[in-house]
């Protein structure tokens, strides 16, 4: 049974998401380094250290986002993108079947 949604469009969209996440990864890594350095400030109150640790944990969640991107990619049926590319290679007419 053919799929009714566009595997190709989903793939293109998730590739764009992946590009944006990759662009954000380096600045987030820099932010994590600065937050870790802030934790070493002399006489830092515990409540601020706790918040900085939470901030660092949140920044590290970028790995969860990357995992979610892979999950989307893995959910696209094997061969669906290639099949759609082949169907649309010579125009985008719909099948009568």
Per-residue pLDDT of 56-94, as tens digits, reads 999 999 989 999 999 999 999 999 999 888 888 876 655
* pTM score: 0.75
Residue 2 lies in a domain: no
The structural domain count of the chain equals 1
| Cβ neighbours of residue 53 closer than 8 Å, sequence gap 6 or more | 39
Structural domain span for residue 68:
7-82
In whole angstroms, what is the distance from residue 86 CA to residue 80 CA?
Answer: 10
Residue 89 lies in a domain: no
User: Angle, nearest 10°, between helix axes 7-39 and 80-88?
Assistant: 130
Residue 1 confidence class, pLDDT cut points 50, 70, 90: low
Query: What separation, in Å, do the N-terminal and C-terminal C-alpha atoms of the chain show?
Result: 11
Residue 30 lies in a domain: yes
Percent of the chain whose pLDDT exceeds 70: 91
Residue 31 lies in a domain: yes
Residue 43 lies in a domain: yes
């Amino acid at each position: 049974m053919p799929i009714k949604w566009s595997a190709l469009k989903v793939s293109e969209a998730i590739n764009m998401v992946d590009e944006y996440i990759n662009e954000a990864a380096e600045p987030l890594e820099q932010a994590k380094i600065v937050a870790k350095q802030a934790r070493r400030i002399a006489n830092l109150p515990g409540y601020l250290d706790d918040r900085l640790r939470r901030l660092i944990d949140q920044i590290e969640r970028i790995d969860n986002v990357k995992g979610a991107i892979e999950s989307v990619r893995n959910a696209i049926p094997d061969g669906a993108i290639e099949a759609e590319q082949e169907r649309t290679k010579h125009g985008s007419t719909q099948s009568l079947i």
